[in-house]
Amino acid sequence: MNRNTLIAAAAFLALLPACTTSTHRTSLVQASTAGVEQLREGGVRTQYSYWSDEGAGAPLRVRIDLSDQTAYFFRGDVKVGQSRVATGRAGHSTPTGSFTISEKVASKRSTLYGRIYDANGNLKVADADTRLHPVPKGGKFIGCSMPYWMRLTGSGIGMHVGPIPNPGSPASHGCVRMPREMARTLFGKAPIGTRVTIVH
């Protein structure tokens, strides 16, 4: 086997996804679209989420499908990307309909959901809802971090960076969570007023 063959074989092996452990299995779905940009989700290389910004002259629009937990990105009629998402779990449903991005904040914390600590700094409520869990005297509430926040509703629903613990299944308090690289890319590409449609 010559040197060039060995180099090619090594390059091929480097592109293979890392093995999953018995405690964390991730299903990898390969996108069929050309020009896929490989991203990382939870330390696993995947080609499901990608951005390939062709048709750059047309306005960007976003379609979020709750049934397959995927966001699809279009410029006009040209699909330029897609992303895994995690939308609202049972009891915290993500609203369907047509929305526009009305606010963008690169570094934001939730005012509703987070952690509550007592006056001594001890964690009292790990998954707190400020409407249900009062902060003890001398204690404090620290809202969940929501980087690359893009607001969709006046009631606090938006798109932002967040964990996707079980790809394909809802997991959030109602917001649309995305992998960091996809949320950052969308944040940079989508101006205020970008149309976002959420469907079942």
Question: Three-class SS of residue 9?
Answer: helix
In which band, very low, low, confident or very high, does the pLDDT at 56 lie, cut at 50, 70 and 90?
A: low
Could you tell me which residues come within 8 angstroms of residue 161 by beta carbon, excluding any fewer than 6 positions away?
145, 146, 147, 148, 177, 178, 179, 180, 183, 184
Q: Give 175-191 pLDDT, tens digit per residue.
A: 999 999 999 999 999 99
Q: Which residue has the tokens 């998402």?
A: 85
Domain residue ranges in the chain:
27-108+150-200, 113-145
Beta-strand pair 109-117/195-199: unpaired
Question: Contact, 85 vs 177, CB < 8 A?
Answer: yes
pLDDT digits (tens, 9 = 90+) for 136-149: 999 999 999 999 99
What pTM does this model have? 0.76
Domain 27-108+150-200 belongs to what topology?
A: L,D-transpeptidase catalytic domain-like (2.40.440)
Tens-digit pLDDT profile for residues 60-105: 999 999 999 999 999 999 999 999 999 999 999 999 999 999 999 9
